[in-house]
Amino acid sequence: MNKSRENWLGKVAVVTGGGSGLGRELALCCARKGMHVVLADMNEAGMGETVTRIQALAPTVRTLIRTVDVSSLEQMQNLATTTMEEFGGVHLLFNNAGVGVKAAPIWEYTLDDWQWVTNINIYGVAWGVKAFVPIMLEQNDGHIVNTASAAGWLNGPASGVYNVSKCGVVALSESLLMDLRDAQTTIGVSVLCPAFFASAIADCEANRPDDLSNTAPDTSIGRQRSEEVKFAMTRGRKSAADIAAITFAGIEAEQFYIFPHSKIKSLILGRAEALQRDEAFNTLEGRGS
């Protein structure tokens, strides 16, 4: 696929986490380009709303909804099979589904916290790659976008589980890029690393399974950090729609790293400079210490 061209008409996009937030906006971007869209999420009502918006925007675009737990390799492989049966190909894969847990010191997170976040944020991406890359290799055509976070580079307090998972997505994406180069394929990869913006991740506990319920203690520090995160999300200058548009532009420009918030790059540089001085980097203050 020549990703710099504008003609995506009739191609097929798969979006995990397509029932709300960034996933919905990515799906709408694809529909505007004339792509058929497959949505995967645990939020059936949300996916229905996404489809309604797609149909209003692009009536000729075909859609497919599947309730999928991305932490299940079997369900992701079934999604790939169903997509091929329905559309005969996959050209864009957005491994976008992600969750977070309430803010807490890292030692207070429970086994269930670690398992839930790891299952969705890391295994969900890994299983997307495992299920769909063989299809793209057979086509010798496609592009994969893995949603990481600025937290994959800059690790703030009271978010240890989330930070670890997003560092994992960056590492997985970099490894995938090298492996695809070894395979001498034209398949592209991007890793998306946004900072704070308004999204539905703050409400993701509603989809948390009962067997991985939230039992971590409630602490004053945790509540304070949670309020700081909520404030940062609501005051962010970029919307989910902005992030999606920047992401699609990055795909067309064949970018590997996509940083919608330009300040993050300078902070990463500050972290690297602190490393050269053998100093820890203070993410909140943007300097070594």
Active site residue 162: yes
CA–CA dist 253, 261 (Å, integer): 17
SS3 93: strand
| Pair 152, 169: CB distance under 8 Å | yes
Contact status, residue 36 vs residue 11, Cβ threshold 8 Å: yes
10: CB partners within 8 A, 6+ apart: 34, 35, 36
- Range list of β-strands (E), 62-118: 63-67, 92-95
161, 121 contact by CB (below 8 A): no
Distance of alpha carbon 220 from alpha carbon 158, whole angstroms: 11
Euclidean distance between CA atoms 192 and 169, whole angstroms: 10
Cβ atoms within 10 A of the Cβ of 217, count? 9
Residue 241 token pair: 């729609």
Exposure class string for 75-113: b at 16+ Cβ within 10 A, else e: bbeebbeebeeebebbbbbbbbbbbbbbbbeeebbbebb
Name every residue whose Cβ is closer than 8 Å to that of residue 135 and which is 6 or more positions away in sequence.
80, 84, 89, 90, 142
Rounded distance between C-alpha atoms, residue 17 and residue 88, angstroms = 22
Provide the annotated active-site residues.
Answer: 162
